[in-house]
Amino acid sequence: MTTPADTSVDQLIPEVAQLMVTALNLDMTPAEIDPDAPLYGDGLGLDSIDILEVALAVSKKYGFQLRADNEDNTTIYASLRSLAQHIAANRTT
């Protein structure tokens, strides 16, 4: 069964993918980002500087801070889907 929260996350994934492609100047389309692939390492291959850029773009667009000292960052940035879930749960705009 799909919940409204699942639906909002599914709708948010392409939007967050576009935000990442734009913020990081990625040489790919948002649709090419696998929502469940790791953002670090073998997945999308982002590094800590890329994650800072994503955090800044997210805070500007969605109205809340992603903090570098958050103990949940490993989970938040595990994949595009997990980032979208975090945004859906915390966004103010």
Q: Which of 13-22, 26-35, 66-75 has the lowest mean pLDDT?
A: 66-75
Write out pLDDT tens, residues 20-44. Answer: 999 999 999 999 999 999 998 888 9
Place of tokens 């773009």: 57
- DSSP assignment of 34-68: -TTSBSBTTSS-B-HHHHHHHHHHHHHHHSS---T
- DSSP assignment of 13-32: HHHHHHHHHHHHT-SS-GGG
Identify the structural domains of the chain with CATH numbers, from first to last: 4-90 (1.10.1200.10)
**Is 1 a residue whose pLDDT tops 60?**
no
All residues at 6 or more sequence positions from 7 whose CB lies less than 8 Å from its CB, including other chains = none
Q: What percent of the chain has pLDDT over 70?
A: 92
Q: State residue 6's pLDDT score.
A: 63
